[in-house]
Amino acid sequence: MDNFKNMADLLLPNITKTPDFYEQMYKPRNLPEGARVTRVAPSPTGYLHLGTLFVSLINRLVADSTGGVFFTRIEDTDKKREVEGGIADIINGLKRFGISIDEGFVEPTVEQGDYGPYQQSKRAEIYQTYAKSLIEQGLAYPCFCTEEDLSKVREQQEALKVRTGYHGEWAKHRDITYEEAKALIDEGRPFVVRLRSPGSEENKVVFEDGIKGKIEMPENDEDFVILKSDGIPTYHFAHAVDDHLMGTTHVMRGDEWISSVPKHIQLFRLLGFKVPKFVHISPIMKLDNGTKRKISKRKDPEAAVHFFAEEGYPTSSVIEYLMTIAASDFEDWRRANPQEDYKKFKFNIKKMSASGALFDTDKLNDVSKTVISRMNSETVVNFLLDWAKEFSPRFFEVISKDTEYAQKVFSIDRDTPKPRKDIIKWSDAENYCSYFYDELFTPCYSLPEHISKENAVKILTAYKEAYNPNEDKQQWFETIKSVCPAAGFATDTKEYKQNPEAYNGNPGDASTIIRVAVTGRTNTPDLCSIMQVLGIERTLARINAAIEEYSK
């Protein structure tokens, strides 16, 4: 035993605290029965990933549904992969999507809570203290193998067709003595600290995953690394120490970690920690040439949450879409509660799919159209201005000149009980509203085949005289009807249907002629409202320009 103690002092001479110090310092949380403590633990390796947003959303929902706590922890032990501004990207990203953070990094440079630091690079002493304690108990030891040594072992294992890895008889330094270790350290040889795994492949470890159900795997018998040669922990070790000290009750993370659970359970037990509940979330998938694969940072633009911001999907659309993936009963709930905040939905992890959901752009678009259709024109214009300011300065200039006018534009068929669902994302808005702005409007005079230019001129000329900008929708249509005879069009649709041969067209055709002249399109929201928003001058100018064009 003394030997182990000496070994611990040899390997980590600067560590003078004991685990007990931290156990005293980080008291168990005082939360009501059943409250769940959840977290997201991203590495600051780039932009906010869609998967991280998804996992955060679920962690947030589970904490909320039980009156618990959701915290963030930055896992930055791999300094090579870290990017500048990585923390800000993630934290600001989560906040932009309305994922509130109770504890940890609540702002890119602000940590809050009693269990910090919440950044692994600031916790080296804590990990080393726990590692030292394992060494003292003979549960960990130094390994001096070089990369080369390890690859040689791997080659031998492959040649013999045995399982690769640092286990059993292949664990070269497992029985290293204090004297041997000291001699190598005196030579200046670097070392890592490995767990002396008491597990056997023959035994099974069984656990109940919150989503995937009962899972049985062989026990871990690998002497895996817990501290790297620079004294920084591996993910496995940091996870166990942090989630214990921070009082995480539910470790809910991507399911790529499922195969590591035997290692994690073993660590929790050897360290004398209560094993948390594991919940492994299936990733969002993509169809690639007919096969399902995990959405990839490299291949899929939508893997980066920034993509949605740039395209102008409202953050609430993305969240709403992720909710449909997260919970199979969300859409039914939404139909019954169209206006309710999604946070009111009773989320149950049992309703999560155990296999990965496919990312479906059509579905996202559909959800987003509905989300935008529920916004009033004021909200739409505010969001649109925010988006355009960042991503479309030219459009921003046009719409910001007169926001009251912009609001009128977007109120058409919107501020009504049954709004049109015609905008998917803010980047569609310029095209949607271009004819309301002379600087964006491109006339297009093409008419349906059955309407001749001559008749178009006749209708437009007559309409110019009859046009009264103060008419309501019904009067407006009466006026359209009244100009129909000028081009030999039926004034009544029914009459026309009974005897189409007798007429050159019908009131619908007459309004198409006017619509094309005024908007350059055959399909628009309510034309009477459009003309009211455009105003007399602009409407007449467009009608005149069309008459001129058709008379050529």
Question: Which spans of this chain sit near ligand GLU (rule: CB under 6 A)?
Answer: 41-43, 75, 239, 253-254, 257
Phi and psi for 141 in degrees, rounded to 5?
A: -155, 165
447, 533 contact by CB (below 8 A): no
Which C-beta is closer to ligand GLU: that of 256 or that of 548? 256
Q: Which is nearer to ligand GLU, 41 or 295 (CB)?
A: 41
Residue nearest to ligand GLU (CB): 253
The amino acid occupying position 239 is: H
Taking the complex as a whole, how short is the minimal distance between the CB of residue 25 and ligand GLU, in angstroms? 22
Q: CA–CA separation, 17 vs 19, rounded Å?
A: 7
Nearer to ligand GLU, 170 or 207 (CB): 207
Give burial (CB, 10 Å; 0-12/13-18/19+) of 153: middle
Cβ of residue 238: shortest distance to ligand GLU, in angstroms? 9
Q: Could you write out the DSSP letters of every residue in 324-392?
A: HHH-TTHHHHHHH-TTS-GGGS---GGGS-SSPPBP-HHHHHHHHHHHHHTS-HHHHHHHHHHHHHHH-
Respond yes or no on whether the N-terminal peptide bond of residue 108 is cis (omega within 30° of 0): no
The least distance separating ligand GLU from the CB of residue 52, rounded to whole angstroms, comes to: 7
Closer residue to ligand GLU (CB): 258 or 385: 258
- What single letter denotes the amino acid at residue 433? C
Closest CB 73 distance from ligand GLU, rounded Å = 8
Kindly give the interhelix angle for 453-466 and 473-483, rounded to the nearest 10 degrees. Answer: 130
* Closer residue to ligand GLU, CB minimum distance, 39 or 408: 39
Rounded least distance, CB 104 to ligand GLU, Å: 12
Residue with tokens 């004297």: 179
CB of 243 to ligand GLU, least distance (A): 8
| Min dist. Cβ of residue 88 to ligand GLU (A) | 17
* DSSP conformation letters of 243-269: HHHTT-SEEEEEGGGGGGHHHHHHHHH
Q: How far apart are CA 509 and CA 483, in angstroms?
A: 11
Q: Which residue has the tokens 């309510």?
A: 526
Q: Which is nearer to ligand GLU, 127 or 503 (CB)?
A: 127
Q: SS3 for 94?
A: helix
Question: What is d(CA 383, CA 456) in angstroms, rounded to the nearest whole number?
Answer: 39
Q: Closer CB to ligand GLU, residue 60 or residue 239? A: 239
CB of 68 to ligand GLU, least distance (A): 16
Complex with ligand GLU: residue 119 or 519, whichever CB lies closer: 119
Nearest approach, Cβ of residue 133 and ligand GLU (Å)? 22
**Residue whose C-alpha is closest to residue 246's, from 106, 120, 115:** 115
Minimum gap (Å) between residue 350 Cβ and ligand GLU: 20
Distances from the Cα of 383 to the Cα of 372, 515, 533, angstroms: 10, 28, 21
Query: By C-beta, is 43 or 455 nearer to ligand GLU?
Result: 43
Q: Which is nearer to ligand GLU, 22 or 257 (CB)?
A: 257
Q: 507-519 vs 473-483: helix axis angle to the nearest 10?
A: 110
Are the beta carbons of 471 and 528 closer than 8 angstroms?
yes
Q: Give the up-direction half-sphere exposure of residue 251: CA atoms within 13 A in the CB hemisphere.
A: 26
Long-range contacts of 437-446 (CB under 8 A, 24+ apart): 437/398, 437/399, 438/538, 439/398, 440/395, 440/398, 441/520, 442/520, 443/520, 443/542, 443/545, 443/546, 443/549, 444/516, 444/520, 444/521, 445/516, 445/517, 445/520, 445/546, 445/549, 445/550, 446/516
Instruction: Indicate the residue among 80 and 418 with the shorter CB distance to ligand GLU.
Output: 80
DSSP state of 525: S
CB of 515 to ligand GLU, least distance (A): 53
Please identify, using beta-carbon distances, which residue of 75 and 103 lies nearer to ligand GLU: 75
Strands 277-281 and 204-209: unpaired
Give least dist CB 280 to ligand GLU, A. 10
Beta carbon of residue 75, minimum distance to ligand GLU (angstroms, whole number):
4
Nearer to ligand GLU, 43 or 512 (CB): 43
The DSSP code for 503 is -
**Around 28, how many Cα atoms within 13 Å sit in the side-chain half-sphere?**
9
